[in-house]
Structures are given as structure tokens and as C-alpha cells.
Amino acid sequence: MFTGSYVALVTPMDSSGNIDYSALRSLVDFHIENGTHGIVAVGTTGESATLPFDEHIEVVKRVVEFSQGKIPVIAGSGANSTAEAIFLSEQLADSGIDGFLSVVPYYNKPQQRGLVAHFNAVADATDLPVLLYNVPGRTVTDMLPETVAELAVHPKIVGLKDATGDISRLKTMQKLLPKDFVLLSGDDQSSCEFLCAGGHGVISVTANLVPKQMSQICEAALAGNFELAKQIDNKIASLHTALFIEPNPVLPKWALYRMGLMKSAFLRLPLVESELKSQQHIEQVMRSSGVLF
């Protein structure tokens, strides 16, 4: 369950800032056609922080509708308020999703025992599996491996998206966690190394642009063909870096617009359109990586 390449899907918007559901359908089709193993809808890359609840829920439901059961869908449902995270989980419980991705609460800097209480409460509120999401670069609070191990006892908490980029932490968690606990990379730059060290997959921003290559990397690594995985990753490594020279999802949205997969690169405030020099840089990288010709 939840192994391989899961795309952290952007939420396309038109030039007025409305959700572009036609483009959303095209993106879902793009991932199905190119072998993506699963979709994360309305996570960080999907601008969860600036989508009100009604839009958040509707986007997830549309992704499920458009996927037609051909690809698993995980819904972002995290919040810095436990009550809000539970509310989102309850609202999405019957939407047809396969599970939830729940981020470490941000801004209020909970203690480790606060994280345990938060995630247990979220998991208690659903019958669906829950993936934890640790991204201290955005949330400030770092969920420690020992905390993950304590949470792994809950029957609904089945895995972790780790965006620390620290491979030594993966090895620590492998010693502490059950073997069936899913460990996913949330850091594209180190994801191939993570997979080769025994990780089970990746929730990827880069996969928005190159879904086939990210899926192939995962398939090769999970089959034990680490050399092939590294060869494919080397060809797109510059994308992993270039996509993050401005805050995610600023450049992924511009790149998808440039690829013709979206009609607009609109972002919800306080994010704004990328700088011209960033656009020029990512376009050059896209050309060198074979994304644009």
C-alpha cells in the first residue's frame, strides 16, 4: 500500500484565481497515462494553506472522480488545529479516497507529546489509513523518529512522508518501526538515495513535470536495480533543484503552464508569479532535461 511514485499534485487555477477543473482533469489523465502510482490532492503543493474548506473538499472529490479508480488518491487533510484536521478528515471520509496525508501542525510549535495526541486524535476520527508528514522546513516543529514509532502503534497510522532529506534518519526509523510501516521520501533531491536505502516510495513535486521518470526510478529501486534508478535520476536531477529556487509550488505551476498542461500559472496570495530570471532558469533546465524541446 502507498508505495512507488505519488505526485504532490498542483491545483490549477485560471487567471482570475478560480479552480480550473478542466485542467485538473487533464493533469489527472496525464499522470494515469504516464504511470504515476498515486496522487496526493491538496497537499502543500496543492496550496492547501490558501484553499478554503469548500474548495479543498471539492478539489479532492474531483480528483477522485477524474481518476475513475485507475489510480489511488490520498487527500491532504492536515492543519495546525486538531479540530480542523479532524473536520477535513470527516468531510472527506466518504469521497472515495484511499487515505489521508496529515502534516505536522505548523506555527504553534507543539511538543512531541502534543504531536502524539494530535495524530492519534486525527487517526481515531477515521476508518481510512493515515500517512504522517514531517516537513520541519515549513512547520518548524520536527517530529522525531521516536515519536513516529510511538504513533506507528495506532492501527490507522500506516506510514510517513519524511521531507528532512536526512538519509541517516531513515536508517534510524527502519530500526524503530515495523517492517510494514511505509516510509516515503518528501524530498525530491534525495529521493533516489532514500529509495536505494530501503524507502518505499516518494511523494514528489518533480513528478508533476516528469511522472514517467519518477515512476521508473521507484520501480527500478524497489526491484533492486539501484544503478538504473540512479541513471534515470541523474537525467532529471537538475529539475529537483530548479523547481525549488522559489517557494513551492510557484515554479512547478509555471513549468506546467509552459508545458501547455495548464492555461495559467496563477497562485493564491501571498504567493505570486515567479521572477523572470527564475522562469528563464527553469525553462533552460526543462530543455536540458528533455521536458521542453
Annotated binding site for pyruvate: 45, 203
Query: Which amino acids are annotated as binding site, given as ranges?
Result: 45, 203
> For residue 185, what are the β-bridge partners?
162, 202
Q: How far is CA 202 from CA 62, 126, 187, 214, in A?
A: 23, 24, 8, 9
CB 276 within 8 A of CB 284: no
CA distance 102 to 89: 9
99 beta partners: 74
**133 catalytic, yes or no?**
yes
Q: Active site residue: 161, 171, 175, 257, which one? A: 161
Q: Which three cell numbers stand for residue 232?
A: 534515470
Query: Of the candidates 1, 97, 139, 38, which has an alpha carbon nearest to the alpha carbon of residue 88?
Result: 97
Amino acid identity of residue 167, one-letter, is: I
Q: Which of 106, 133, 253, 257 is catalytic?
A: 133
Q: Tell me how far apart the alpha carbons of residues 31 and 211 are, in angstroms, rounded to a whole number.
A: 6
Residue 159 main-chain phi, psi, to 5 deg? -170, 180
Give the distance between the most distant pair of CA atoms in the chain.
51
Cis omega before residue 249 (within 30°)?
yes
Catalytic residue at 161? Answer: yes
Which residues are catalytically annotated?
A: 133, 161
